[in-house]
Copies of this chain bind each other. A is one copy, B any other.
């Protein structure tokens, strides 16, 4: 499969085109140092065979925040070097840290905005990014990534809502791009022009007055021109529409733009990859071959392969899907898709991040701080246990499924066959009941359930239940549309 072919990313070669984008783990302390939990988390991705690991955002400065890694002083280099070394010792996965600057924010809801920065502050930020990337190189990372997405300083300069009146804003695209340009220039000087530095930025801000893909294409071109090793696309995640809970520091993923940033189960799969395709085409047409990475509810192997094989984008970023199962790459490559622990986009991980709690996946065994080890080598390929006695009850507007507990089951995957016969994975649960609230009366639905052990080994499918949902009384016997001539 194309996604398992290596790819040149600047001077780095990633062994395959699957990326785990930066995800905050909240495993670090407030001291900013790498600890064993952090190492375990990222080594686990390396074990799973992902091509590129982007380590969660680490700050270029010392500003107060919750649990967060730092790269703001040479004292952090040994810990970071240990992290990089441990990953390199594990597999061929390449690893880069995501590097961030953020502005001040208070529990009152007050937040510093880019127009409050003096020009000296901007010069300091330029230097801080250069120093941070030099430290990333010293620590043995394969490259670095600048966080210019969501609610943070670089993104706020790029934003169409940038309120500065000087040449770092001034209501012009060129002004909004000046800071990232100066930073990349300084990074070349301080870390060398052969060290691959990618940029993550928003393809669409998804806020009132925010920029759309129209600007994102031009931004992508400029990033290619200033030597970005890759473009990693995200969307939304802004403070402008964040919901402020009194007494809490605003969290930029609580508003609509936060919904878009980490789209939940009510969003279609592969929600935002079309932006990547549009941006890549625009940048390519102007002579740049900078690889483009797309993210956003990509987790079905067929979707990932299609995106890469068609050339729409070069890299697929899988965040929550790899949190649920770091072995996704190895399992797909080995033809063991049925063993994947599939993310159901319940977004408990997002909630844990927002409340500064250690980020885990609810599909992991109870109490685990890390994904369980892949036991392919030792476990029987087929686990014996199966959910049985699946039965459906029609409720008012929904279908309730219940089944018997399978001995030793850690979770159950629910599969639905729709009215056209398309089977899809619709949810994963730890209990033995599930309600389908998204069905239409007058149609037939079929379901089966599979039990999975904590190791990922799956049992046989349960019996299948078929439900003919009664049509609501107001439905015409034969609709006008069906009787109309073509």
Contacts and interface: CB of A to CB of B under 8 A. Distances in A.
Interface string A427-466: 0000000000111111000000000000000000000000
Interface stretch (A90-98, A167-175, A310-318, A336-344): A167-175
Contact of A437 (B172, B225, B258, B266): B172
B437 A474 contact: no
A396 B259 contact: no
A268 B214 contact: yes
A433 to B, nearest CB: 16
Interface stretch (A131-139, A177-185, A320-328): A177-185
Contacts of A440: 173-174, 177, 218, 221-222
Contacts of A185: 474, 476
B222 A482 contact: no
> In the complex this chain forms, how many copies of it are found?
2
29 contacts: A8-B484, A10-B480, A167-B397, A170-B397, A172-B396, A172-B397, A172-B438, A173-B440, A174-B396, A177-B440, A181-B472, A181-B474, A185-B476, A188-B476, A193-B480, A209-B259, A215-B266, A225-B442, A225-B479, A226-B474, A226-B476, A226-B479, A227-B479, A241-B256, A274-B274, A285-B420, A286-B419, A286-B420, A290-B481
Interface in A170-215: 170-175, 177-178, 181-182, 184-185, 188, 193, 206-215
A212 B437 contact: no
A176 to B, nearest CB: 9
Interface in A242-277: 243, 255-259, 266-268, 274
Contacts of A397: 167, 170, 172-175, 178
A186 to B, nearest CB: 9
The CB with the most chain B CB atoms within 10 A, among A184, A438, A472, is that of A472
A213 B268 contact: yes
Given A173-B437, A224-B479, 12 more contacts: A173-B440, A174-B440, A208-B241, A210-B256, A213-B268, A214-B267, A225-B442, A227-B476, A227-B480, A256-B256, A285-B420, A288-B481
A480 B192 CA distance: 12
A224 B10 CA distance: 52
A397 to B, nearest CB: 3
A229 interface: yes
Contacts of A255: 208
Given A215-B266, A227-B480, A484-B8, A174 B288 contact: no
Contacts of A214: 266-268
Nearest to A263: B212
Given A221-B440, A256-B206, A229 B181 contact: no
Given A208-B255, A268-B213, A475-B225, A481 B289 contact: yes
The CB with the most chain B CB atoms within 10 A, among A256, A267, A420, is that of A256
A213 B270 CA distance: 12
A362 interface: no
A159 to B, nearest CB: 12
A330 interface: no
Contact of A256 (B181, B208, B442): B208
B226 A396 contact: no
Interface string A1-29: 00000001010000000000000000000
Contact of A171 (B267, B286, B437): B437
A171 B436 CA distance: 11
A112 to B, nearest CB: 22
Nearest to A287: B482
B481 A227 contact: yes
